[in-house]
Structure 1
Amino acid sequence: MTQSAEAGKPQGNKFIENRSIDFIPENERHGSVFSQFTLWFGANLQITAIVTGALAVVLGGDVFWSIIGLIIGQAFGSTIMALHAAQGPKLGLPQMISSRVQFGVYGACIPILLVCFMYIGFTATGTVLSGQAIAKLLNTSNLVGILIFAAIIIILATVGYRVIHWIGKVASILGIITFIIIFTKIMLIADISTLFAVKHFDWSSFLLAISLSASWQIAFGPYVADYSRYLPSKTSSSKVFWAVAGGSFIGSQISMTLGVFIAQIAQGNFVGNEVAYVIGLGSIGTMAALLYFCIAFGKLTISTLNSYGCFMCIATIYSSFKGTLNITKKQRLIAVLGIVAISTIIAILGEHSFLSAFKSFILFLLTFFIPWSAINLIDYYFISHEKCDIEELSNPNGKYGRWNMIGIGCYFAGILFQLPFIDTKLYTGSIAHMLGGVDLSWIAGLIFTAVLYFACVKLFPSKVKIIQPNISNSISNS
C-alpha cells in the first residue's frame, strides 16, 4: 500500500474530527476493536430495526419462520458488511473513495451518488420515528420533535468520528436496558411459547424475511469502513470482521425478533403508530418517559452514521473533480446542513405513510448496492489483494484512470440482471411474478455480478484499471 507522503500531526481539538475523506496517518490512528462491536451493536438496538422485524409479520409471515428467515438474512448480510469493514484499517480511507479502484476516479461517482440517496432516505425514515419519541417525551408535536432531532444530528455529524463511537457505547447500554424492559413487558402480557406456536410456512413470506434482514445489513456496506479507518493498520482483519459482524448481527436480531413478537401481539394495531405502540406495552409515567428517551437516543447512532456517511460521499464526489482529498470544516458543516435539511423535509412530508414507504425503500435499495458490493469485495480480496495506491486515488490521469468501464459495465449489468427477480411496489419483474411474488433479486445479483466482474478482469486484464485520457489533454481536463 502506498501511503501519503505527509503523515502530519493531529491538529486542533482532538474531540472534533479534523480529517474527512483523506488518508489517516499511522500517528493519528486510535480506538479498539471492541469499539467496533459496541458501535454496530448500539446502532442496531433501535426502533427502526424493530419495525423492520415487525414487517415480516405485518406482511403475512408467522412468528416462527419469520425469526428463522431473519436469522438467515442477518448471517448472510452481516458477513457481507463485515468484509467491507475489514478494509478500513488497511486502507485508512472511507469506504466509497476506495471504489475509485474499481470504477475510476470519475466513474466511482455513479454508485456514490446513489449511496447519497440511501443515506438521505434512511436518515429521513429514522427521523420520523425519533421525532415521534421526542414529541411524546417533551409533550409536543411530531413536527417539533423531528426538528429537534435534526438539530442534534447536525451537531454530532459535524463533530465526527470520536463522538460517533462514544454514542455507540452509550446507545449499547441504553439499548440493552430498553429491550430488557420491553421484553419483560411482553412476557407479562403474552405467552412466548404460544407466539412461537404460530406456524404457517409460506415461501414468499419466508424469503421476504430473509430479504428484509439481508438488505438491512448490506445497506451498511457503503459506509461501514468509514468507522474502522482510524484503527491502527496492523489491526487484525479477522478481529475487525468478527467484531463488526457480531455486533451488527446480535443487535439487529434482538431488535427484529422483538419486532416480530410485537407485531403478532398487536394484531394490526402496530401500523401507523409504531413508537407509541412499543412504549404502550404497559409503560406509563416515568417508565414511559425513560423508554421514549432511550428510543430517541438509540436513533442518534444510526442517524448520525447516515448523515456523516452522506457527507463523506458528497465530499468524495466533490474531490473527484477538485483533484484534492482535503475538505475544510466550513465545507463539512455546509454539506451536513444540506443533508439533514433534505432528510428533515422528506420526514415531515412522508410521516404518515412511513411503514409502507420504508418497506419498498429498503428492498429496492438492494438493486443498486448488491452489484457495487460484489465488485468491491471481489476486487479487494481477489484482484487487488488488499492493496491500494492512496496517492493515485485523487489522480484522474493516473493508474486508476477517469472511467473504468469494466467496473462500470459490470455494475449496470448487475442492476439489469436483477430486474426480472424484483418484487416491490415500485416494480415487479417477470420471474418474481411467476414465483408468486418471491423476490430473489439480491442473491441473483450478487452471484451474477461477482462472477461477471471476476471473469472480465481475467479476460481483459489490461483494461481493468484504466481507460487512459490523452496525455496532451490531461492538464486542461483534470
Structure 2
Amino acid sequence: MQKSQQVSSAAASAGKLEIEGRSIDFVPHNERRDKLSTQGPFWFVGNFTFFTTTIGFVGPSVGLNPLWTAIAGTLGIMFGTLFMAFHGSQGPHLGLPQMIQSRAQFGYRGVILVLFATLFVFAGFNIVNLVLMMQGLNALFHWLPIMVVAVVTVPSMLLAILGHDWIHKTFKWSLYVSLPLYGAITLAVMTSWLPGALGAAGIHAQPMPALGFNWTGVITQFAAGASYNIAYAPYVSDYTRYLPKHTRSGLLILAVFLGASLSGAWMIALGGWLSVHLGTADILVALNSVGSAVGTRGGALVVALAILVFLPVIAMNIYSAKLTAITGWDSFFKVKPTPKVRVWAIVFVVLLQSGVAIFINSSSSGLSILNIYLVVMLYFLVPWTAVNLTDYFFVRRGRYAIPHFFLPQKDNIYGLWGRRGLVAYLIGFVMMIPFFCIYNGPDPVFVGPMSRLMGNIDLAWLVGLIVSGTAYYLLCLSHDLPKEREFIRRIEEHSPHLTTGDGW
C-alpha cells in the first residue's frame, strides 16, 4: 500500500490523472513537495468567489452604507482569519488532516462530537452554494435544478477524487480567471461612482443612499466576517500537510492570513456596494446586471465565469468533508485509507449535498432554514477551534505521538474519550447560549438574554473562543506533560520518521 500511495502521489505531481494516494493517514516527509509560495494564492482564491460577496449583504440589511460595510467586514475577516491561519501551521508540522489531530484533545472516539459539526458545515456550505446557483440560474436562464447539479457537482466531484495536488492546480488556474473577472467588476463599480460613467448606463437600479452608520450594524457585519473565516478553521491543515516539515510557521501563518483576508475584504466590499445599488439579494442576478451594463451578452459571460472559477471551491468542500467522514467512521470501525475508500466517501458526500440542495430549492423557506442551520453549526465549531489551538500552542506546544492518532485501543495515550477537551467544549458551548442571536430574515428564531440586552448583537462566537480556550488550559494544568513527552520521545526513537520535532 505504501508503494502504491507513493506512485499515485508522484503521478499526480507529474500531471497524470492519477488519484491521490493519501487520505486521513500521515504524509511521509519524502512526499511533501508543496511550496510555501502557493499558500497565499490558494487561500486568496478560496475567498475570491461570489459566495463571499453575500457576506457584504449583511451590512446594508442592518443600516450600513457600502463604506462602513467594507470597514466592518474587513476588520471582521481579518479577526476570523487569524484563527484559520494558526491552524494552517499544524499541517506541515504534523503531516495530518485537521480533524485527525483533534483526537489529542477529544479522544479517539470523543472527536465524533466535533466531526458531526464539521461534516455538516462542509456539506452545508456546498448546499447553500448549490441552492444559490439553482435560484440564480433559474431566474436568469430557466435552468432546472438537476441541470445545475450536473454542471456544478460532477466536475467538482471528479476534482475531489483526484485529490490534493489537482485541487491546488485548479486553484492556480482559477486565479488567472477570477482576478481579471472580479477586477473588471470592481473597476465598473468604482467607475460608476463618477459622473457620466457606468452609472449613467443603468448599472445601478437605486440611488446611492445617504451615509449610514450605527454601532449595532458595525458589530453585526464584523461578526459576520469573523465567523465566516473562523468556519474555515477545519479546512486549513488539509491543504498544508504536504508542505515540508520544517516550513517556517510564521511565514505560513502570514501567507494564509494575507491570502484569505485580502480576498475576503475585497469581496465583502463589493457585495455591500452591489446590495445597495442593485437592490437584489441574489448575487448571480447582481453579477448579471453588472455584466449586462457592458454588453448584451456580458451578463451571461460574467455569470458563467463566476461559476467556473467557483468549481474548485466546491471540490475543496467535498474533499474536506470526505476526510471528516472517513475520520468519523474510523473512530468506531477501523478504516484502511485506500483510494477506494476515498472515492466512496466522496460519492456519499456528493449524493447527500445534492439531494438536500434539490429538496431545499423546492421549498419556499428552505434557504432561510439552511442559513439558520449554518449559524448553529458555526456555534458548534467555535469551542473546537479554541480547544484545538490552545492545546497546540499553549499546552502540548506541538508535541504529539503521531502513531497514537490511529490506535483505537484503550491504552492509546490520548484515550477513547478526552475528558478535558470534551468538558471545556461543553462549558464554552453552554456559556454561548445566552449570547445566541439567530434570525430568519427579520424574524427572531432564538435571541438569548445577553444578546437581547446588547441590542440583538451576536457575540456568542467570541464568548465561545474565550471560555472554551481558558477552560481547556485550566483543566490541563493537572495533566502530566513531562510523562507524556517522555513517552513520545521513546516512540520517536523507534519511529524517527514520525517525529513532530521539538515543538514550539
Q: Is 1:350 matched up with 2:364?
A: no
- Counterpart position of 1:476: none
- Counterpart position of 1:436: 455
Contact 1:50/1:257 (8 A) holds in 2:
yes
SS of 2:217's equivalent?
helix
C-alpha distance in 1 between matches for 2:463 and 2:39: 30
Please state how far the C-alpha of 1:7 moved relative to its aligned partner.
Answer: 9.2
> Partner amino acid for 2:288?
I
Q: Is 1:319 matched up with 2:330?
A: yes
Matches within 5 A, 1:243-254: 243-254=255-266
Aligned match of 1:27 in 12, 15, 30?
A: 30
Alignment length (residue pairs): 456
Distance of aligned partners of 1:175 and 1:353 in 2 relative to their CA distance in 1, 3 Å threshold: farther
C-alpha distance in 2 between matches for 1:330 and 1:210: 43
C-alpha distance in 2 between matches for 1:361 and 1:56: 21
Which stretches of structure 1, 4 residues or more, deviate above 6 A after TM superposition? 6-9, 133-139, 192-197
Q: Is 1:228 matched up with 2:240?
A: yes
Please state how far the C-alpha of 1:374 moved relative to its aligned partner.
Answer: 0.5
Aligned match of 1:408 in 402, 422, 429?
A: 422
Q: Is 1:36 matched up with 2:39?
A: yes
Q: Is 1:279 matched up with 2:268?
A: no
Query: C-alpha offsets along residues 305-336 of structure 1, whole Å, 9 cap, x if unaligned?
Result: 11111100111112222345x32222222211
Matches within 5 A, 1:296-335: 296-324=307-335, 326-335=336-345
SS of 1:427's equivalent?
strand
Aligned match of 1:262 in 259, 274, 281?
A: 274
Contact 1:116/1:314 (8 A) holds in 2:
yes
Q: Is 1:452 matched up with 2:457?
A: no
C-alpha distance in 2 between matches for 1:9 and 1:341: 27
Contact 1:130/1:295 (8 A) holds in 2:
no
| Unaligned stretches of 5+ residues in structure 2 | 13-17, 200-205, 440-444, 485-504
> Partner amino acid for 2:323?
M
SS of 2:54's equivalent?
helix
Query: C-alpha offsets along residues 440-472 of structure 1, whole Å, 9 cap, x if unaligned?
Result: 11111111111111011114548x98xxxxxxx
Query: C-alpha offsets along residues 370-403 of structure 1, whole Å, 9 cap, x if unaligned?
Result: 1100000000011111121110111133111100
Q: Which sits farther off after the overlay, 349-358 or 131-140?
A: 131-140
Aligned match of 1:54 in 44, 48, 57?
A: 57
C-alpha distance in 1 between matches for 2:437 and 2:112: 27
C-alpha distance in 2 between matches for 1:238 and 1:358: 37
Please state how far the C-alpha of 1:135 moved relative to its aligned partner.
Answer: 6.4
| Unaligned stretches of 5+ residues in structure 1 | 1-5, 466-478
Please state how far the C-alpha of 1:132 moved relative to its aligned partner.
Answer: 5.5
Contact 1:126/1:299 (8 A) holds in 2:
no
Q: CA RMSD in A?
A: 2.6
Contact 1:43/1:298 (8 A) holds in 2:
no
Distance of aligned partners of 1:67 and 1:41 in 2 relative to their CA distance in 1, 3 Å threshold: same
SS of 2:331's equivalent?
helix
Query: C-alpha offsets along residues 227-263 of structure 1, whole Å, 9 cap, x if unaligned?
Result: 0000110111111111111110011111111000101
C-alpha distance in 2 between matches for 1:130 and 1:38: 25
- With structure 1 as the length reference, what TM-score do the two structures score? 0.89
> Partner amino acid for 1:295?
A
- Counterpart position of 1:115: 118
C-alpha distance in 2 between matches for 1:198 and 1:391: 61
C-alpha distance in 1 between matches for 2:143 and 2:368: 25
Query: C-alpha offsets along residues 189-223 of structure 1, whole Å, 9 cap, x if unaligned?
Result: 34599999843322221111011111110001012
Contact 2:108/2:331 (8 A) holds in 1:
yes
> Partner amino acid for 1:442?
W
C-alpha distance in 1 between matches for 2:3 and 2:401: 15
- With structure 2 as the length reference, what TM-score do the two structures score? 0.84
> Partner amino acid for 2:343?
L
Contact 1:158/1:336 (8 A) holds in 2:
yes
C-alpha distance in 2 between matches for 1:296 and 1:8: 35
Please state how far the C-alpha of 1:365 moved relative to its aligned partner.
Answer: 3.1
Q: Percent identity over the alignment?
A: 27
